[in-house]
Chain A
């Protein structure tokens, strides 16, 4: 199926009909009000679990056709160049990802003591089953508590109590989804894909907390 927006370039994508019929939504409202112009008013296609570019804003046309139409945004863009010079195409599914939102970059811990580590996890392949947190730079991991309900193709919140002793540390999280897929480290990801594959980055996000409490991106 082709889905086209009403922006100046009339952006469109070719989408598998089965996925659209199974999970797709045509959204006209959110939280009791019409969706906002920047979010695609009056209509936006939502394809849960797929890369964001497929959620066509300002939706003005859906057309069922017999093949992918090889739109500019699914050939020259949104394809993932691999080390051998070939590119993966139609990489729709979002691999499992998680990120610690507190503490996170730009914040400052007031001093040693108790903190609740909090964050979000998501996956394009079903539900989040587990999120682990490391507070020693990835040497050891402990399972975080997941907030219910855990719904397929939706954000899952996680949290873990933590006592900071005031020394410099690196904290990070990694998610496992119901397909059994474990979120990789940045090194594992670049080992598999090289550095030219830019549209899907789901490596672990590491925050460095300095002795003065300032939180920096690593």
Chain B
């Protein structure tokens, strides 16, 4: 009994010493959590207030996006946003928002969290909706004056929505036991 009690005290002492050693962590406040919670789900959960159209997105795009993505989204190597239809079965598939992306909500989420490249977080939510609308319009998915907002964006059906399948590996070698 006596030995067990000593061990518990030592173990507790070690656990408490870890945080000062590595200086990691502080309690998150409700404000911290709210400020970081900007995830957008494919059915539109998390989309904020705001709205925009392709027509409104053009000026923002020219100022903040065209340098890397080209004047009309054609991109420069990696950064193409439009085109690529019919290339997924060829030796050089071009994966763009139009030819590959399964969900329109990903467009809002990614622009909002990561763009523009040199200053993520710069764009207002209206700007993000407008630029999202512009890229969808360039890909022939919505009209130039269709309003994208928290209710309309998630309803846009992307051309390659049904182009994804679940992981069915192993697909080589001996097929033996069930996957875990």
Chain A interface (Cβ within 8 Å of chain B)? 2, 4, 8-10, 12, 28-29, 34, 42-43, 60-61, 63, 65, 67-72, 75-76, 79, 81-93, 95, 125-126, 179-184, 188-189, 192-193, 195-196, 200
Interface of A is mostly: loop
**Could you say which residues of chain A place their CB within 8 Å of the CB of B120?**
8-10
* B136-180 Cβ-contact flags toward A at 8 Å (1 or 0): 000000000000000000000000000111111111111011011
Determine whether the beta carbon of B176 is less than 8 Å from that of A75. Answer: no
* B51-71 Cβ-contact flags toward A at 8 Å (1 or 0): 000000000000000000000
Determine whether the beta carbon of A72 is less than 8 Å from that of B106. Answer: yes
- What's the tally of chain B residues with a CB closer than 8 Å to chain A? 45
Determine whether the beta carbon of B169 is less than 8 Å from that of A75. Answer: no
**Could you say which residues of chain B place their CB within 8 Å of the CB of A196?**
88, 91, 93
- Nearest B residue to A77 via CB reads B95
- Nearest A residue to B168 via CB reads A88
Q: List 10 A-B pairs, Cβ < 8 Å.
A: A9-B114, A34-B24, A67-B43, A69-B41, A70-B106, A75-B100, A86-B165, A88-B166, A89-B164, A181-B174
- Nearest B residue to A202 via CB reads B172
**Could you say which residues of chain A place their CB within 8 Å of the CB of B105?**
70
Q: Does B103 contact A (CB under 8 A)?
A: yes
**Could you say which residues of chain A place their CB within 8 Å of the CB of B102?**
70, 75
- Nearest B residue to A84 via CB reads B89
Task: Give me 18 other A-B pairs in contact (C-beta within 8 A), A69-B42, A181-B173 excluded.
Answer: A4-B36, A8-B117, A9-B110, A9-B120, A10-B114, A10-B120, A28-B22, A70-B105, A72-B106, A75-B102, A81-B88, A83-B89, A86-B163, A92-B167, A93-B167, A181-B174, A192-B172, A196-B91
**Could you say which residues of chain B place their CB within 8 Å of the CB of A179?**
170, 176-177, 179-180
A120 to B106, CA, bound (A): 38
Determine whether the beta carbon of A195 is less than 8 Å from that of B171. Answer: no
Determine whether the beta carbon of B106 is less than 8 Å from that of A76. Answer: yes
**Could you say which residues of chain B place their CB within 8 Å of the CB of A43?**
24-25
Determine whether the beta carbon of A65 is less than 8 Å from that of B39. Answer: yes
Q: Does B123 contact A (CB under 8 A)?
A: no
Q: Does B77 contact A (CB under 8 A)?
A: no
Determine whether the beta carbon of B164 is less than 8 Å from that of A86. Answer: yes
Determine whether the beta carbon of B173 is less than 8 Å from that of A183. Answer: yes
A181 to B174, CA, bound (A): 6
Known: A71-B106, A76-B95, A195-B91. A87 touches B172 (CB 8 A): no
Known: A8-B114, A10-B113, A10-B114. A182 touches B174 (CB 8 A): yes
**Could you say which residues of chain B place their CB within 8 Å of the CB of A86?**
163-165
Determine whether the beta carbon of B170 is less than 8 Å from that of A181. Answer: yes
Least CB distance, A125 to chain B, in whole angstroms: 7
Determine whether the beta carbon of B89 is less than 8 Å from that of A184. Answer: no
Known: A69-B39, A182-B173, A189-B172. A85 touches B180 (CB 8 A): no
**Could you say which residues of chain A place their CB within 8 Å of the CB of B95?**
76, 81
* B95-131 Cβ-contact flags toward A at 8 Å (1 or 0): 1010011110110011001100100100000000000
Determine whether the beta carbon of B172 is less than 8 Å from that of A79. Answer: no
A72 to B105, CA, bound (A): 10
Least CB distance, A26 to chain B, in whole angstroms: 10
Known: A125-B179, A196-B93. A184 touches B166 (CB 8 A): no
Least CB distance, B154 to chain A, in whole angstroms: 11
A188 to B102, CA, bound (A): 29
**Could you say which residues of chain A place their CB within 8 Å of the CB of B37?**
61, 63
